[in-house]
Structure 1
Amino acid sequence: MAKTPFTPENLPLTGERINQLMFLRELIEANKKIAQYQVLLQNTKLPSHLLLNPVMLNEAVQSTKIEGTQVTLDEVLEVEAHSRKNNKDIQEVLNYYHALRDGMDNLAVLPISTRLFKAMHVTLMSNGVRGSNRSPGEYRKIQNFIGPEGCTMETATYIPPQPQLVDTYMNNLEIYINNPQDQLDELVRAAIIHAQFETIHPFLNGNGRIGRILIPLYLFSKNVIDYPNFFLSEALERDKHKYYRFLNDTRYKGDWNQWIHFFLEAIILQANKNIQLINDVNRLYEHDLNLAQSLINSSGVKKLIDAIYQKPIFTVQTISSAAEIPEATCRRYLSILESQKIIFSDGKTRSKTYYYYNLLDKLR
């Protein structure tokens, strides 16, 4: 394998690079599944924004897991509920979550661009996490390389382009994102854009995570999805060695069809999981809301249940604030829900933490 910095192709790729017949079935299926997921979200019994917080946190867990950070969704939610001490691994996950949120918010005023990438990168590298001292918010000025821990440039599996060329390649990518001059489907473009971002590797740290955030942001910007809430990290983490291998094959073998085929299969896998999740959560929400309302005769019960869907691990303080219910009233409601095994607690007499396992089991 070459031991010199790689020279990427500019986008759009030349026509002979892509043979859509090789993944046409998967492309049709992926578009169908995403459309089905969007329709479900529009017609869900549970207000779809309620699930966004835990689903985005789970995406943050899965994306950082690809980078080797081993944190569970429960641990992150416990830190959010102020019932667990934070650490640098959990902070990495929270930084990803906030970078994702920043990207979503900034799309209202910014195109997908260098400015957006750099803003997200500052957030991703904040609060003293790994890489926080490696030029946050700036494209790299030195050569980097990728490979197993402890590898050298000689043993690296991939050496990205020379640093002085990063701005040129990122400018080309930005132009392609906002004004593609090809006839490809948007899902195929999303695959190409993600691979090209990872190939350029513009930052010294955090490229994989920013590149994975780019996927839902791009699909949202092109109106493929109604909200940037379709995340691929879980499907990619499941086959992460294949993910890295196929990315490398686009570089050294020019095999884009294999990569796009894999990317579309990941979309189908994730869309099927999302559809199952929404159907399961719809049934759960309706059942547990009706049960809670039969136990507690108050209009505040729906606000409480809705808040629990946003924060399925919580304390009285965090959930009363989210539900806008006085703490004393909230404590009384939670006691009733716990007695009926709708929620469970850690049993502490003070600063008790509650767990809504019915939802957590479906999210994990």
Structure 2
Amino acid sequence: MPWDADRPYNELPAAPPAGVDLEPKAVLKATIEARAALATLAQAGQLLPNPRILIHALPLLEAQASSEIENIVTTADELFKHVDSGGGDPATKEALRYRSALFAGLASIRHRPLTAGTAAAICSELHGRDMAVRAVPGTRIANPATREVVYAPPEGADLIREKLTEWERFVHAEDDLDPLVRMAVAHYQFEAIHPFHDGNGRTGRAINILMLIEAGLLEDPVLYLSRAIIARKNDYYRLLRAVTAEGAWTDWVLYMLDVVHDAATSTTRKISAIRTCQDDIAERARTATPGGRDARFLAVLFEQPYCRINTVAERCDVSRQTASTWLHALVTAGLLRDTKVGRELLFVNHELLDVLTRPD
């Protein structure tokens, strides 16, 4: 029976697709280039005086971008401002849950292989409640502009669980398929199964990062992948549908490899800019306050753009008064700005914030 966009795709084949060469010459070439870009990113991260900034800041940028793909729009500034308090408007809170979900998935794969259960845990964290596979029929995915139905995922909880089990086997198959190609195919398969009522796109993009970590291509979730997808968002959805409608696997895999390459290259440039900013501020801070000669203090200033007095006091083992004096001295020197958020006084490393949020 030919594929029909309005009919549940219960016949969705298991991955890998039968009779399809997933690694033709063009894909192999793109794989080599993407791997080289990831290796360069890993080396750049190791050169930072305080690599914790990557683990704290870049997942927030990924959260903001992945949420934006689903039209959950907030700003990176709002996320950094509220990351410790969990406050902000509804969109900010939802994007912050993406970061929590990503870290929950990361904690899980540190102890056990990535599974459908990992996906359910990520999706549950995104929504703040338990998310089981879809049981109610009638899910349809429509073009947001025309409202035309473009895809109907498989229906029936038992069938969806079966499809997820097949997906899980493919994710961990012991064959010669390159991990980047496997990630691309697995991402299509997960989105085609569309196992949950909501949150499948964000869950699937978090899984992309986790698959790269599990494969040893990343050590931490520092790849700013969703920004590269946003830059070609229409292609992302068009090529996903083309795999279903036309079996256009090569185009899809090439797209995902390009996204990885572009994201790794962009993130490497951002790391270089962070390093330059960090060196410059450290030099100026040494003459602005005695705290500027404390490596722990400088590390705190570069873990994320917004800093609290209590954080400095605890991390630097100084009194609250000393911490306040150090921070206010940097405000006077123009290296930080102070701002009230609710009843709390925060100190903004505005130069770092500019580096993190500006387009590469």
* TM-score of the pair, normalised by structure 2: 0.90
Match of 2:274 in 1: 281
Counterpart AA for 1:138: A
Please give the residue correspondences for 1:336-351 in structure 2 after superposition, counting only pairs within 5 Å: 336-346=329-339, 351=344
Q: Deviations over 1:150-193 (max 9, x none)?
A: 987xx311111122411111001101111244x32111111111
Q: Distance in 2 between matches of 1:8 and 1:26?
A: 27
Match of 1:207 in 2: 200
Counterpart AA for 1:31: R
Q: CA deviation at 1:77?
A: 1.7
Counterpart AA for 1:53: H
Q: Distance in 1 between matches of 2:315 and 2:255?
A: 40
Match of 2:67 in 1: 64
Structure 1 residues 118 and 16, CA gap change in structure 2 (3 angstroms): closer
Q: Distance in 1 between matches of 2:262 and 2:339?
A: 35
Match of 1:32 in 2: 36
Q: Deviations over 1:126-162 (max 9, x none)?
A: 1xxxxx6xxx33111123121145987xx31111112
Structure 1 residues 180 and 169, CA gap change in structure 2 (3 angstroms): farther
Q: Distance in 1 between matches of 2:53 and 2:163?
A: 39
Counterpart AA for 1:120: I
Match of 1:142 in 2: 136
Q: CA deviation at 1:29?
A: 1.0
Contact 1:216 1:231 in 2 (8 A): no
Please give the residue correspondences for 1:1-364 in structure 2 after superposition, counting only pairs within 5 Å: 1-6=4-9, 7-42=11-46, 44-80=47-83, 82=85, 85-126=87-128, 136-143=130-137, 144-149=139-144, 155-163=148-156, 164-181=158-175, 183-298=176-291, 301-321=294-314, 323-346=316-339, 351-364=344-357
Counterpart AA for 1:24: L
Structure 1 residues 211 and 350, CA gap change in structure 2 (3 angstroms): closer
Structure 1 residues 170 and 36, CA gap change in structure 2 (3 angstroms): same
Q: CA deviation at 1:299?
A: 7.8
Tell me how large the CA RMSD over aligned residues is. Answer: 2.3
Q: CA deviation at 1:14?
A: 2.5
Q: CA deviation at 1:302?
A: 2.0
Show structure 1 runs of 5+ residues with no match. Answer: 127-131
Contact 1:120 1:137 in 2 (8 A): no
Counterpart AA for 1:57: L
Q: Distance in 1 between matches of 2:314 and 2:346?
A: 15
- DSSP-derived class of the 1:157 partner: strand
- DSSP-derived class of the 1:111 partner: coil
Q: CA deviation at 1:208?
A: 0.3
Q: CA deviation at 1:222?
A: 1.1
Aligned residues: 351
Counterpart AA for 1:58: L
Counterpart AA for 2:104: D
Q: Distance in 2 between matches of 1:166 and 1:16?
A: 24
Q: CA deviation at 1:210?
A: 0.6
Contact 2:282 2:292 in 1 (8 A): no
Q: CA deviation at 1:225?
A: 1.7
Structure 1 residues 362 and 150, CA gap change in structure 2 (3 angstroms): closer
Counterpart AA for 1:18: L
Contact 1:160 1:201 in 2 (8 A): yes
Structure 1 residues 151 and 168, CA gap change in structure 2 (3 angstroms): farther
Q: Deviations over 1:249-298 (max 9, x none)?
A: 11111001111111111111111111111111112212212321233335
Q: CA deviation at 1:115?
A: 1.8
* TM-score of the pair, normalised by structure 1: 0.89
Show structure 2 runs of 5+ residues with no match. Answer: none
Q: Distance in 1 between matches of 2:117 and 2:216?
A: 21
Percent identity (aligned): 24
Match of 1:129 in 2: none
